[in-house]
Amino acid sequence: MRKIWPTLMSSRKKILFIGGSLNQTTMMHQIAQALPEHDCFFSGFYADGLARWLAGRGMLDKTILGGKHLKGTMEYFSENKLPVDHRGEAHDYDLVLIGTDTIVPRNILGKKVILVQEGMMVPEDWRYRLVRHFGLPRYFANTSTTGLSHCYVRFCVASEGFRELFAAKGVDPEKIAVTGIPNFDHAAQYLDNDFPHHNYVLAATSALRESWNYENRLAYLKKVVRIAEGRPIIFKLHPNERLERATREIERIAPGNLIYSSGNTNHMIANCDALVTKFSTVLMVALALDKPVYSDLSQEELVKLKPIQNGGTSALRIADICREYL
């Protein structure tokens, strides 16, 4: 027994899971639960240099580096009694999992990293082209640059369509694994809910304006009304939106309809007749449930991006990939 015990102990590896939004954080938790034979630690999202300085002064509170995103993640860790190593400074990790690579913390560079797709990416625009052509920081173009750090050994994605999308951006196809992704791989579970409304058009808004992007909100609202064709509309506001402004605009164009600033969006999608959004991650749930989706993407693109439905086993598949590198 004395000879076996050290061998058993040494087989346990240390893995760091870096969260971010609550979506990213819960993804990481599910993957960690599928790796009980290893020591798993958790961190909120973090950065270095100027980004760290700005976050420390509350200037990035609309991002996953601060504000309610970081607060929600740390509360989730506490509620679930997860071992926390914020900024990953307590251990020398054998493997690191991240939900975004638009910013990559310095202390994980050179380590084995697995990137897990968080959801939808914003479309490529002029900022994306500036980043690609002039080498600007990836975060300047938001999530459109997902995968372009090339710092990872594997990139786990939601569908074959996303594999094609990332490969077209320049991601090495050999690094991409079509595993499905937690939170989007078992949409049927959302049909069992207690949301009291049915037979409506759901309008899920964005926080483009709050992240210094242009959006013609009035045109979007008129589009929602046109698609509804007299049916009830429920507006689900993005959590980062300015509530007062968004509500005022809705009352101007589509008065008398329900407006939610919180609540389970997946349940709202499950009960709706159709979803109208821009290019939010929520459309992935709607696609998985075969709901009609109206967005800034073409129907051909939407069909390709429908996430794999595997009964909620994506975390197990990603965990198996983790084991390949431990």
Residue range 153-195, pLDDT digits in tens: 999 999 999 999 999 999 999 999 999 999 999 999 999 999 9
Spans of the chain below 70 pLDDT: 1-10, 212
**pLDDT at residue 7 in the model:** 47
Same fold? 4-185+308-324, 187-304: yes
d(CA 66, CA 64) in angstroms, rounded, equals 5
Q: Is the dihedral of CA 221, 227, 230, 236 positive or negative?
A: negative
What is the Cβ-side half-sphere exposure of residue 294, based on CA atoms within 13 angstroms? Answer: 19
Helix ranges (DSSP H) in the chain? 4-10, 22-33, 49-56, 67-79, 126-134, 160-169, 217-228, 243-253, 265-271, 282-288, 299-304, 314-324
Count of beta carbons in the 10 Å neighbourhood of residue 202: 26
**pLDDT at residue 208 in the model:** 74
**pLDDT at residue 9 in the model:** 52
- Angle in degrees, CA 65, 71, 74, rounded to 5: 100
Q: Which residues contact 2 (CB under 8 A, 6 or more apart)?
A: none
- Helix, strand, or coil here: 15? strand
Q: Which of the four CATH numbers 3.90.660.10, 3.40.50.720, 3.40.50.2000, 2.40.50.90 does domain 187-304 have?
A: 3.40.50.2000
**pLDDT at residue 10 in the model:** 63
d(CA 56, CA 66) in angstroms, rounded, equals 8
Q: Indicate the pairing of strand 233-236 with strand 201-204.
A: parallel
In DSSP notation, 93-133 reads -SEEEES--SS--GGGTTS-EEEE--S--PPP-HHHHHHHH
What is the Cβ-side half-sphere exposure of residue 34, based on CA atoms within 13 angstroms? Answer: 19
What is this structure's pTM?
0.91
- Angle in degrees, CA 298, 304, 305, rounded to 5: 90
**pLDDT at residue 304 in the model:** 86
Contact status, residue 69 vs residue 21, Cβ threshold 8 Å: yes
Contact status, residue 153 vs residue 230, Cβ threshold 8 Å: no
**pLDDT at residue 298 in the model:** 87
d(CA 145, CA 121) in angstroms, rounded, equals 8
**For the chain, which residues make up each domain, given as ranges?**
4-185+308-324, 187-304
d(CA 249, CA 262) in angstroms, rounded, equals 18
Does CATH place domain 4-185+308-324 in 3.40.50?
yes
- Tell me which amino acid residue 252 is: R
